[in-house]
A and B are shown apart, each in its own frame.
Chain A
Amino acid sequence: MQYALLIYEDEAIYGPDKAGPAMEEIVSCHMAFNRELGSARIGGAGLKGTVSATTIRTKNGAKSVHDGPYAEAKEQLGGFYLIEAPDLDAAIAIARKVPVLQDGAIEIGPLLGGA
């Protein structure tokens, strides 16, 4: 099956431009994790800070463009992986290894049609 691993962390720890020493540390962790994933990795990316995010909302058929992320929360979507795993337990085992610097959460979602 195919799963998305959505990474939620408090982006404040990475500094205003996601460029501080914490960022260097997490990037090298992700590079090591990527190597470990090998062929189980279908895709993935890190996102710039939510200050650069733009949201398009649809309401009653009308679309409007807004500054900022979809949801204001203590932890923000900071990146994602798409992986191939035989079942949920295998996906959980991989998700446990996704580097997270401090507190955070990894949401595991099976992809539609990814059986």
Chain B
Amino acid sequence: MSADLLAAAVRQAGGRIVAALAARYRDLDLAEEAFAEACARAAGAWSREEPPRDAAAWLYRTAERCALDWLRRRQVRQRLRPDPPPPTPTVEDEMSDDASLIPDERLRLIFVCCHPAVAPEARAALTLRLVCGLSTLEIAEAFLLTEATLAQRLVRAKRKIAEAGVPFEIPGPDAWPERLEAVLSTIEIAYSKAHEDAAGAGPHAAYAEEMLGATRVLAELLPREPEVLALAATVRYAEARRPARLDDGGVMVPLAEQDPRFFDRARIAEAEAYLHQAARLNPAGPRALHAAIHSAWCARCSLEEPAPWPAVLRLYDALLTLGDDPVVRLNRAVALNEVMGAAAALAEIEALNGAGLAAFRPYHAVRAALLTKVGRKVEARDAYRRLLALAPPSAERLWLEKCLATLEH
């Protein structure tokens, strides 16, 4: 019983507690270790005595005390004068719940974890560890790394933050565009890993849930940033379609064939609210346009309704005016195929050859489908075989094998 209580408190408030400790002591290791120690003490204390009314507040106070003890011992060792002792909690403190007791420093911590001076491949992992409270094992599985490799990456990133003097501050307005971009692209990378596997049964499953949480937190903290809101919308639209992304045989279903009756309408409503707000602030931002594409798909009520290809094509056109991006071109070619025909789309795709997409499965998938459509079967078969060699998740593999099989007759 007390173990359940502890697990729930860690899940629910762990990120917030670690963030508050990190922001206060400007030390990520100290924050993590103090929180771990508080959890260890809770495991003992709560089984012996009555568990506290507010588990999160108990953990925060205990972790704070541990951190201060360690700091004081460290300072004594360094012959520095210790800080004055922390104020003893007042009766009001004891009564108050965690919402008012634990300051919300998660945004600050997200900016620290996603600082441009931190290695890009470590940012998402560090954010998931410290802000979302995932274990190193969970993150390692999500990134398809061994736990040792991931742990080493985290250690290196935390060391960099400490030694290079990365500030525990929300950046000033002049640095905001670059810094917020680093935060958003970190979340995007993390989410695309979770989204990749249509089955959601693989190691990424729980992790999509975390991305919903991370984008919600970010949107709560930055309600005036259109790109933040748009990203929160996109993650929700994409998750809303998850039940329709697999058929009964566990095979991936392509976007235009996903049955809207299986879409999660509550999730879509959440997404709509975010997108509405984002579009009011800046309808032409790149992430707002991406969210609008998802919205067009989610607006379908049944498979009888025509797929929104013309609208999708217009949105990709708009995205291209913001900047040339091979992945946008690739996705646009899919819509172009439906609106203008496969030959036009294939010409676009061939122009992308050498744009660094050789290991990008969607590139080969789109190309293979287009080659099939224009009747270049030998090349199509080749493309499918190359795709299967890129180790796709099982739902995608089953679908690709199906496509390949139709070519073999």
Interface size in chain A (residues, C-beta < 8 A): 14
Q: Is B69 part of the contact surface with A, judged by Cβ < 8 Å?
A: no
Judging by beta carbons under 8 Å apart, are A89 and B171 in contact?
yes
Q: Mark A80-115, 1 if CB is under 8 A from B, else 0.
A: 000001111111110000000000000010100001
Contact B175–A110 (Cβ < 8 Å): no
CB of B182 within 8 Å of the partner chain: no
State the Cβ distance, B74 to closest chain A Cβ, in Å: 14
A23 at the interface (CB under 8 A from B): no
Interface size class of B (residues with CB under 8 A): 10 to 19
A88 contacts B164, CB within 8 Å? yes
Q: Which of B115, B165, B171 contacts A110 (CB 8 A)?
A: B165
CB of A109, distance to nearest CB on chain B (Å): 8
Hey, which chain A residues are within 8 Å of B169, CB to CB? Answer: 87, 89
**C-alpha gap A1/B164 in the complex (Å):** 9
In chain A, what residue has the closest Cβ to B163? A110
- Chain B residues contacting A3 (CB-CB under 8 Å) are 165
Does B407 belong to the interface (CB within 8 Å)? no
* A108 CA to B117 CA, complexed, in Å: 10
Within 8 A of B (CB), among A67-89: 85-89
B44 at interface by CB-CB < 8 Å: no
B166 close to chain A: CB less than 8 A? yes
- Which residue of chain A lies nearest to B179 when distances are taken between CB atoms in the complex? A89
Chain A residues within 8 Å of B103, by CB: none
Chain B 229-273 interface residues, beta-carbon cutoff 8 Å to A: none
A3 to B117, CA, bound (A): 14
- Which residues of A9-63 have CB atoms within 8 Å of chain B's CB atoms? none
Chain B nearest Cβ from A84, distance in angstroms = 11
Considering the complex, give the chain B residue whose CB is closest to the CB of A92.
B117
Q: Which residues of B contact A85 (CB under 8 A)?
A: 165
A89 touches B164 (CB 8 A): no
From A88, A93, A115, contact of B166 by CB (8 A): A88
Nearest A-chain residue to B172, judged by Cβ: A89
Residues of B within 8 A of A92 (CB): 117
**Does B392 lie at the interface of the complex (its beta carbon under 8 Å from any beta carbon of A)?**
no
* A110 and B164 form a contact (CB under 8 A): yes
Chain A residues positioned under 8 Å from B115 (CB to CB): 88
Most buried by A among B164, B166, B167: B164
Residue positions of B touching A, CB distance < 8 A: 115, 117, 163-167, 169, 171, 175
Closest 7 CB pairs of A and B: A87-B167, A88-B165, A1-B165, A87-B165, A88-B166, A88-B164, A89-B167
A-B contact pairs, 14 of them (CB 8 A): A3-B165, A85-B165, A86-B167, A87-B165, A88-B115, A88-B164, A88-B165, A88-B166, A89-B166, A90-B167, A92-B117, A110-B163, A110-B164, A110-B165
**Other than the known A87-B167, A88-B167, A110-B163, what 18 A-B pairs have Cβ atoms closer than 8 Å?**
A3-B165, A85-B165, A87-B165, A87-B166, A87-B169, A88-B115, A88-B164, A89-B166, A89-B167, A89-B169, A89-B175, A90-B167, A92-B117, A93-B175, A108-B164, A110-B164, A110-B165, A115-B165
